[in-house]
Amino acid sequence: MLKAGDRVPEFQLPADNGRSVSSAELAGRRYLLYFYPKDDTPGCTVEACSFRDNLPAFDKIGIAVFGVSADDALSHQKFARKHGLNFPLIADPNHQLIGPMGVWVEKSMYGKKYMGIQRSTFLVGADGTIEKVWESVKPLAHTAEVLEYLGANVKVKKPAAVVEAVKAAVGMVAKAAVGTVTSRAKPAAKPARSAAKPPKPAARRVAAKATASTKVAPKKKAASKPGARQATAAKKSVAKATAAKGARGAKVARKR
Q: How many residues does the chain have?
A: 256
Say if residues 13 and 21 touch (Cβ distance below 8 Å): yes
Question: Residue 242 CA to chain centroid, in angstroms?
Answer: 114
Helix (H) or strand (E) holding 212: helix 202-213
Q: What angle do CA 28, 144, 52 make, to 5 degrees?
A: 70
Say if residues 81 and 6 touch (Cβ distance below 8 Å): no
- Answer positive or negative: Cα dihedral of 112, 116, 119, 122: positive
- Where are the alpha helices (H) located in 67-198, listed in sequence order? 73-83, 98-101, 139-150, 161-184
Whether 49 is catalytic is no
Question: If DSSP codes are grouped into helix, strand and coil, which group holds residue 35?
Answer: strand
CB-based contacts of 103: which residues, under 8 Å, 6+ apart? 1, 35, 117, 118, 120
Catalytic one of 44, 49, 68, 161: 44
Which residues carry out catalysis? 44
